[in-house]
Amino acid sequence: MVNVRGVGGRPVFVGVLVAFVVVVGAGLYWFQPWKLWQDETVREALPEVTGTSTAVAGTPAPEPGASTPVAGTATPEAVPSRTTASASAEPASPQTLARGGLISHEHATSGGVRLLRLADGSHVLRLENLDTSNGPDLRVWLTDAPVRQGQAGWHVFDDGEYVSLGRLKGNKGDQNYRLPAGVDPAAFTSVSIWCDRFNVSFGAAELARV
């Protein structure tokens, strides 16, 4: 009995195997599904800017050799005591300009958001008690779009203006994100935990002025 082997069968199999590995590898890189089970917790303190306060020193002790008034004798005119001012550094508390609560979009999300003005005039967006899912290429967006409830996170911030404050530092915790110089915080009304790779919001918060 003649054993007939397929012509070019092995090269075809190898080609299919290589294509399969490439597709699976690209899918894993693109979606990074393992991140859904990996939590990254980042806890940062409230931002502080060092200010100065002035303290007045008391009257200095008399210098060695200085004469002391004797009872019954005339005293010279009083000389104003010298005072010295010393500057001590004290942290100045940030001022809350707006706040809001995160709602869920594509993934379950909760926590608070505060927009802060520091003593030096700079601004910081602070996420507090953040709890959301991890994912690929997550960003923190400051936007002028309304927060739509009941949406799955798609097509909710497609229009309008936004400023990216950088990558999300962790999917849990308390985190500070500094606004770039020249950005007017009054021009923005909401915050989104935004997946830049898939253009979807994980969660968002409406900012209410205080």
Rg of the chain on CA atoms, in Å: 32
3-state secondary structure of 6: coil
CB atoms within 10 A of CB 173: 18
139, burial (CB in 10 Å: exposed 0-12, middle 13-18, buried 19+): middle
Q: Report domain extents, the chain.
A: 95-209
pLDDT at 88 over 70: no
What pLDDT band is residue 158 in, cutting at 50, 70 and 90? confident
- What value does the mean pLDDT take over residues 130-147? 96
* Strand stretches in the chain, DSSP E: 41-43, 49-56, 85-92, 95-101, 103-104, 110-117, 123-131, 138-143, 162-167, 172-178, 190-195, 200-206, 208-209
Q: What is the pLDDT at residue 3?
A: 56
Q: Is the pLDDT of residue 207 over 60?
A: yes
Query: Helix, strand, coil % (nearest 5) of the chain?
Result: 15, 40, 50
Q: How much of the chain exceeds pLDDT 70, in percent?
A: 63
What number is the average pLDDT over the span 97-101? 98
Largest CA distance in the chain: 143
pLDDT of 6 reads 52
Q: Which two tokens stand for residue 162?
A: 């936004």
- Identify the band that residue 154 occupies on the pLDDT scale cut at 50, 70 and 90: confident
Average model confidence (pLDDT) for the chain? 79
> Please, are residues 113 and 99 in contact by the beta-carbon 8 Å criterion?
yes
Burial zone of 3 (CB within 10 Å; 0-12 exposed, 13-18 middle, 19+ buried): exposed
Instruction: State mean pLDDT over 118-143.
Output: 97
pLDDT in tens, 37-60: 789 999 999 998 765 444 444 445
CA neighbours closer than 13 Å in the CB half-sphere of residue 111: 24
Residue 135 amino acid letter: G
- DSSP string across 148-181: PTT--STTSSSSS-EEEEEE-S-SEEEEEEEPPT
Match domain 95-209 to its CATH number in 3.40.50.300, 1.10.287.90, 2.60.40.200, 3.40.50.2000.
Answer: 2.60.40.200
- Predicted local distance difference test score (pLDDT) of residue 26: 42
Q: How far is CA 193 from the centre of its chain?
A: 11
